[in-house]
Amino acid sequence: MKQKENFVTDNPDIRYHLTRRVDLKGIFEGLSPEEREVAGCSTFEEYRDMLLVALETLGDVCGSELAGNAAQVEKEPIYLKDGEVILPPSIVSNLEKLVQVGASSMSVEPKYGGMGLPFLLEAAANEVIMRACPSTGLNIVWYSAIAAIVEKFGSDKIKDFVVPRIASGEWSGSMALTEPDAGSDLAALRTYGQLQDDGTWRLYGSKRFISNGASQVSLVLAMNAKGVQGLNNLNLFLCLRKPPFTLDGSEAPGTKFNYTVTKIEDKLGLHGSATCELNFDGSVAYLLGENGKGFQHMLNLMNDARIAVGFQALGYCEAILRLATEFCSQRQTWGKPISQHEMIAEKLLDMEVEVKALRSLSYQAAINQSVLYQGERNLKHDKTLSEEARTKLERKVAKARKRVRKWTPLIKWYGAEKAVEMARIGLQLHGGYGYTKEYRAEWWVRESLILPLYEGTSQIQALMCVKDTLKEVIRQPGRFIETALGLRVQTLRAGEPLRKKLYRAKQLESGAVISILLSLLKTNVRASISEVKPSDLRQMVKLLSRDLIKMENVGPALLHAERLCEIKAIVSLSQCLVWDAEDDESRAPYAERFLNKTWPRLNMLKAEIEMHDPVLTRRLAGFETVPGETAAVNA
């Protein structure tokens, strides 16, 4: 009989970050007396222990139940029958177990039947569940995540009707954005709503590639009138699939479904998760938030989802590392385990370091998201805050928001790309066995390939990163110039080796940004600017300001978006590993290895940014003369 496992207690790294590296005490201090009472915690120590117990309870279910069912989930089909999506029995069983331990209600407010835990705990739970069974994970994430958006933007009537049913596990949800002819270009959506005399809306259109699309609650992004376009015309709607369609319990006579599932996609992986095509034909819906603000409202869910994908990738990487390590430790060649052969030992070491790095940055992003949400809520509802306390909290929230904005695309990009890379290496380390379905190495390859695609492709994350970087330079040119020049001094003065290497990496990052900025200038102007003179850097930023503020004429920058995104991700991961090493010297080797390993990569990426390939230049220039191509390039 296989010994029971706990996917939290068997991973000391999780406890390390929760007890040493994230500011849970600050979260506790931000709880109201009522929230502390509901949590049953009067001290920070009690609160911290409560969070750990909640996560460890989940870890037990994942290690002892879900992981063992993952192979069965892969075998059992999902099918459409009379308009209903029939989930595999193994998935249904897994979901029932997770609901019993509160996985459907972790971050939901207690007044709606939830546990009221910070976003960080839900994110950490995502890592643990995804390590056990990705298909089950992709089913359970659509409970609390959807409830959070309804709580934030729904009317009291909507919240009272919908959120308790999600928290209890009775209903789950979906996020319906993508359309057949409008993937990431949300401004081109065709689905639309029509306002009715009774205040409800009717939705018309179709959506595709919707995870968990057969759920009872669908959050639909659609235009606020037929035929309009643009982000400022988008609304966020709540639509219930089966009776009751309306908040007063009524429904259209003879109608079984408010919106229908017309197709289930046959996918490469995630076989236990239904990816659906949906049709809305006069579907009853309710507006969430403000008319015309749907895109901004949906960003809340999208940003959470992107961090969650980072944690999903982390769960994959942890599972892949353990699978590869176990196999390589047991497989013998030339009289010793293959884990002791030089090339394989290096690969296993780097996989371990990558997991440590990704977890460190992911937990930092998630705790800052928790601080952001709690701070926004307290600023809005806590009337007892003094002027001084309010100002202090506003600064704390602003800092957290800035960090989340910076780190979210980096986590999504790096985690997704690294999980695919590690899955391929894991298969390679299994040799011929890895190519057979007898071992799980090939399964992780198939499961990982979705990560760079959904919740915004890797390229979309890179575009977000480069555009934010350019905007920050233009908005605060003085700070950028001071930082760029100051890093040279910090690198020279740093006495501690890890700090010196970190500053060197940051200096290269700054140089890469300057190279991109220079690429936006005309050749004769660029040649006259020195990267080390403050006056020249100010001149460069001044020359670029007008175009960059409009976000026009930035083709050369967009070309290098993914390279810059990788550079910034490596530097952020390095920063977090150095912080860990300064907290615990036993973690210094991870930081040292990561900094050493990525230094040549950083230099190569910067060299690629600085390279001006005439072949590519001619190809891109040719697009401008081809009818119909300009819009695609500019998008």
Report pTM: 0.94
- Identify the band that residue 542 occupies on the pLDDT scale cut at 50, 70 and 90: confident
pLDDT for the residue 159: 97
- Local confidence band at 550 (pLDDT 50, 70, 90 cut-offs): low
DSSP of 392-419: HHHHHHHHHHHHHHHHHHHHHHHHHHHH
Q: How many CB atoms lie within 10 A of CB 635?
A: 10
The helix, strand and coil proportions of the chain, stated in percent and rounded to the nearest 5, come to 65, 10, 25
Task: With a cut of 90, say whether residue 300 has pLDDT above it.
Answer: no
521 pLDDT exceeds 90? no
Given a cut of 90, whether residue 578 has pLDDT beyond it is yes
Residue, of 398 and 535, whose pLDDT is higher: 398
Pairing of strands 79-81, 84-86: antiparallel
48-91 pLDDT tens trace = 999 999 999 999 999 999 999 999 999 999 999 999 999 999 99
Residue with tokens 């490596």: 570
**Residue 592: how many other CB atoms lie within 10 Å:** 17
3-state SS assignment for residue 234:
strand
Question: DSSP string covering 340-395, please?
Answer: GSHHHHHHHHHHHHHHHHHHHHHHHHHHHHHHHHHHHHHHHH-TT--HHHHHHHHH
* Band (628; pLDDT cuts 50, 70, 90): very low
- Under DSSP, the state recorded for 338 is G
- Give 633's pLDDT tier (boundaries 50, 70, 90): very low
Count of Cβ atoms closer than 10 Å to residue 24 Cβ: 20
- Please say whether the beta carbons of 578 and 502 come within 8 A: yes
- For residue range 445-459, what is the model confidence (pLDDT) as tens digits? 999 999 999 999 999
**Strand pairing report for 260-264 and 332-333:** unpaired
Give strand ranges (E) for 54-165: 79-81, 84-86
Nearest to 408 by CA among 303, 317, 312, 311: 303
pLDDT confidence band for 1 (50 / 70 / 90): very low
Output the pLDDT for position 523: 57
Sign of CA dihedral 524, 526, 527, 533: positive
- What is the total residue count of the chain? 635
Determine the pLDDT at residue 635.
Answer: 31
Mean pLDDT along residues 119-137:
97
Rg (CA), the chain: 25
Q: Are 268 and 197 in contact (CB under 8 A)?
A: no
User: Rounded distance, CA 567 to CA 573, Å?
Assistant: 10
In order of start, what are the domains of the chain with their CATH numbers? 1-168 (1.10.540.10), 172-292 (2.40.110.20), 294-450 (1.20.140.10), 458-634 (no CATH)
**pLDDT of 626:** 39
